[in-house]
Amino acid sequence: MRDSFKGLHFGTDYYPEHWPRERWETDASLMKEMGIQVVRLGEFSWHKMEPREGKYDFGWLDEAIALLGRYDIQVILGTPTAAPPAWLVNRHPEILPIDSQGRRRGFGGRHHDCQSNPLYRKYVKNLVTAMAVHFSENPIVKGWQIDNEFGNAHGDLCMCDSCRKSFQEWLQKKYGSVECFNAAWGTAFWSQEYNSFEEVFTPRITVTGENPSAMLDWKCFCSDLIVDFQQIQIDIIRRYCPEHFITHNCMGFADKVNYYDLSKTLDFASHDQYPGGFYGKMPFENNELMAANLDMTRSFKKQPFWIMEQQAGMTGWNIMGRTPAPGQLSAWAEQCVAHGADCVVFFRWRSCTVGTEQYWHGILPHSGRPGRRYAELKEMTKRLSPIMDELSGSMPDSRVGIVFSYRQEYAFSIQPHHPDLNYVNQVLMYYGELYKRSIPVDFVQDTDDFSNYRLVIAPLQYLMTKELADKYFAYAEAGGTLVLTMRTGVKDEHNICMCDRELPGVLSDLCGIEVSDYDCLRDADVRVTWEEDRESGVYYATKWSDIITLKGAEALACYRDEFYAGTPCVTENAYGMGRVFYIGTEPSEKLLEAVMDRAAVSAGIRSIGRKDPGVELSRRKKDGKVWIFALNLTGRPAGYEIGEQQKWKLALGGQKGMLQPFELHIYQGEEGE
Ligand code: GAL
Ligand code: ZN
């Protein structure tokens, strides 16, 4: 078992190549003093490592690594394949990606590469081999990050001839015969039949419209291409550096690559966490989304994970975000630990004076003098270090699984139905309901084993296969509580509408309903009556109404408006030893609360405790030991109460139940307490 990552808990992303050598030692000593144990290096410095074709120069890196080593700091090396150098692009402009409008993108940013291009892959293999051979025996190097944030900036690139050929081969492998392929894509529509796989195009911009089946395969192909591009590098590093760990820095719910697939051959998954958002597009205090990112990353391998980039200051490229308040940066880092991070690496060590990211602030400001951020994070590493070794490897032991499927996400991004309907947001809406109740959640793949979960929530199960349907039947049969929603069972795996039954198709029998008609709520919400609270008038159906006929289920809520007033909107069905809820709309907050109250009771799910808004309660468990975290993510004092609070030992923090702004409490106990 590779365990070169053990014992590393705090780190920073460092770019020695941006600073004069005379400065390096000051940096290393400041890092050491701050509690930094590990540094990521090199993930964009291709030119520094190979300034001319085949002429490798690792001398500067050796020097930086040795210096860090003298301060007892270990190193992760990034393969710099997200930034091919100018000499390479000039020599082989065909490695630049082609966008959907057929334009070749230029040099000058990053990710300007076509990942299928055989020539580009050759250069990548040569460089990664040279790196792996050179660093395999260096005792300070403990692990690797492959490339950087796969899928970031790749959009749906690349549409070049090389990618076209790879796509054709991928299709041929998947479908075998052109006949099967034509049927799967429904090419009879608009005369899109192909006589051979060689006739298939990459989906460049059309005059009008797209084939949803083609687009789904294209998105899956792009994901597989990235996984393959990563694997080439992994194979090389495994061969020369068998003791080193390998990871990749993922981006939460970004969807260009299926992270479950991407993480399979990694030692652990990593995530880049920026609560301050990018270009200020996200709200500043987005605790719930940040928590979901972390739970998602943990779910990729069902394992603790690393944060490879944790916000260390104000974010911004040309436009900037708010500056984190005193205490906020450490609270954000602690949130990661509370959700299963074993190591937090801060991005970046020092604010850069050159290039695109001059305003993406580091732990140190431009001046390089330790300021308030340094002092704050230093205090945090000192406070948490004693507990991090013990915590390492522990997991939250969730009893609720939310199904997340990249294929469903792709299908909805191709046909969102309603202009504001978004698969990820829909999943996050259900997540939010559990988050606010302090109920730990895993995100599960639809191919995962559900038997550990008492409650499985599977929003928008739009593409349906026999295997998946069987799985849901079996889960309920065995006593699980299952929540299904609108637009379930609509299409087959090829993104083609099924027509053998009314919706939700084969799942009708499981839900005890039939959706006989539906309505896309473009301009108005529809009022709903929650049967147990008939008078209140605070429940709404939004974006979509499934018009439901009961076939054995019970109606929990009915529409109050439109021609379908009085027909069911939310239903509950007993199936086998379990219960199946069906929500035929995007429920308003109160409606969702009402359904989830009922589902949680039916599943016997217990919350960790009660808390004020902005406080997070979470837990990790290992070998019979339990840690409960109470974290105040706000700048105001706030309270909480965990079950049987007096019994628990407070391992970190002040007064039980009362949190100062951005304060963290950690309780420790034995399982069963
Ligand atoms: C991340 C990326 C880093 C840096 C940072 C700030 O997405 O991995 O390399 O670019 O954002 O923009
Ligand atoms: Zn390409």
For residue 510, is pLDDT > 60? yes
Q: How confident is the model at residue 447 (pLDDT cuts 50, 70, 90)?
A: very high
330 C-alpha to ligand 1 centroid (Å): 19
CB 259, CB 407: distance < 8 Å: no
SS3 380: helix
Give the number of other CB atoms < 10 A from CB of residue 636: 12
Q: How confident is the model at residue 645 (pLDDT cuts 50, 70, 90)?
A: confident
Ligand 1, closest atom to CA 360? Answer: 6
What pLDDT sits at residue 296?
Answer: 98
For residue 116, is pLDDT > 90? yes
Is the beta carbon of 267 within 6 A of some atom in ligand 1?
A: no
What pLDDT sits at residue 104?
Answer: 95
For residue 283, is pLDDT > 70? no
Is the beta carbon of 148 within 6 A of some atom in ligand 1?
A: yes
Percentage of the chain beyond pLDDT 70 is 98
What pLDDT sits at residue 284?
Answer: 60
Ligand 1, closest atom to CA 278? Answer: 12
What pLDDT sits at residue 133?
Answer: 98
In tens, the pLDDT along 24-80 reads: 999 999 999 999 999 999 999 999 999 999 999 999 999 999 999 999 999 999 999
CB 614, CB 633: distance < 8 Å: yes
278 C-alpha to ligand 1 centroid (Å): 9
Residue-averaged pLDDT of the chain:
96
User: For the chain, how far is it from start to end, CA to CA, in angstroms?
Assistant: 33
Choose one of 272, 281, 349, 358 to mutate for the ligand 1 pocket test, by most ligand atoms within 8 angstroms of C-beta. 272
Length of the chain counted residue by residue: 673
Separation CA 415–CA 212 (nearest Å): 8
Find the mean pLDDT for residues 364-379: 98
Closest ligand by atom to 160 CA: 2
Find the mean pLDDT for residues 411-438: 97
Whose CA is closest to atom 6 on ligand 1? 360
What pLDDT sits at residue 152?
Answer: 87
What pLDDT sits at residue 569?
Answer: 98
Dihedral of the CA atoms 414, 415, 418, 424 (nearest 10)?
A: -50
CB 420, CB 543: distance < 8 Å: yes
Run of H or E residues at 12: strand 10-13
For residue 280, is pLDDT > 60? no
Run of H or E residues at 308: strand 305-311
Whose CA is closest to atom 9 on ligand 1? 148
575 C-alpha to ligand 2 centroid (Å): 49
Dihedral of the CA atoms 59, 63, 64, 68 (nearest 10)?
A: 150
What pLDDT sits at residue 278?
Answer: 72
What pLDDT sits at residue 378?
Answer: 98
Strand order in the sheet with 664-670: 615-622, 625-632, 664-670, 649-652
CB 614, CB 632: distance < 8 Å: yes
Percentage of the chain beyond pLDDT 90 is 93
Residue 50 designated active-site:
no
Find the mean pLDDT for residues 316-328: 91
Residues 390, 392, 393, 398, CA torsion sign: positive
Cα 576 to chain centroid, rounded: 34
201 C-alpha to ligand 1 centroid (Å): 32
113 C-alpha to ligand 2 centroid (Å): 8
Q: How confident is the model at residue 279 (pLDDT cuts 50, 70, 90)?
A: low
Contacts of 380 (CB under 8 A, 6+ apart): 330, 333, 334
Find the mean pLDDT for residues 434-455: 97
What pLDDT sits at residue 535?
Answer: 83
What pLDDT sits at residue 1?
Answer: 58
275 C-alpha to ligand 1 centroid (Å): 13
Q: How confident is the model at residue 536 (pLDDT cuts 50, 70, 90)?
A: confident
Residue with tokens 């080593």: 69
Closest ligand by atom to 112 CA: 2
Of 154 and 270, more confident: 270
Separation CA 71–CA 499 (nearest Å): 67
Ligand 1, closest atom to CA 43? Answer: 9
Q: Which two tokens stand for residue 69?
A: 């080593």
Q: What does DSSP assign to residue 222?
A: H
Separation CA 480–CA 475 (nearest Å): 5
Separation CA 315–CA 278 (nearest Å): 7
Q: How confident is the model at residue 321 (pLDDT cuts 50, 70, 90)?
A: confident
Q: How confident is the model at residue 154 (pLDDT cuts 50, 70, 90)?
A: low
Query: How deeply is 297 buried, as exposed, middle or buried, from its count of CB atoms within 10 A (0-12, 13-18, 19+)?
Result: buried
DSSP code per residue over 152-190: TTTTT---SHHHHHHHHHHHHHHHSSHHHHHHHHTTTGG
What pLDDT sits at residue 388?
Answer: 97
Dihedral of the CA atoms 450, 300, 259, 361 (nearest 10)?
A: 140
Instruction: Using alpha carbons only, give the angle 403, 311, 619 rounded to the nearest 5 degrees.
Output: 45
Is the beta carbon of 147 within 6 A of some atom in ligand 1?
A: no
Separation CA 639–CA 645 (nearest Å): 13
Is the beta carbon of 13 within 6 A of some atom in ligand 1?
A: no
What pLDDT sits at residue 157?
Answer: 79
Closest ligand by atom to 226 CA: 2
Looking at 58-201, which runs of residues are DSSP E strands? 74-78, 141-145
Q: Which amino acid is at 478?
A: A
Least confident of 143-157, 393-407, 494-508, 585-599: 143-157
| Ramachandran angles phi, psi of 523, nearest 5° | -125, 0
Choose one of 15, 149, 349, 359 to mutate for the ligand 1 pocket test, by most ligand atoms within 8 angstroms of C-beta. 149
Q: How confident is the model at residue 671 (pLDDT cuts 50, 70, 90)?
A: confident
C-alpha distance from residue 5 to each of 41, 257, 611, 635 (Å): 16, 25, 35, 34
Residues 7, 13, 17, 22, CA torsion sign: negative
Cα 431 to chain centroid, rounded: 13
CB 487, CB 555: distance < 8 Å: no
For residue 338, is pLDDT > 90? yes
CB 71, CB 29: distance < 8 Å: yes
Q: Which two tokens stand for residue 203?
A: 């989906």
Closest ligand by atom to 277 CA: 1
What pLDDT sits at residue 155?
Answer: 63
246 C-alpha to ligand 2 centroid (Å): 26
Is the beta carbon of 43 within 6 A of some atom in ligand 1?
A: no
Separation CA 12–CA 361 (nearest Å): 13
Residue 149 designated active-site:
yes
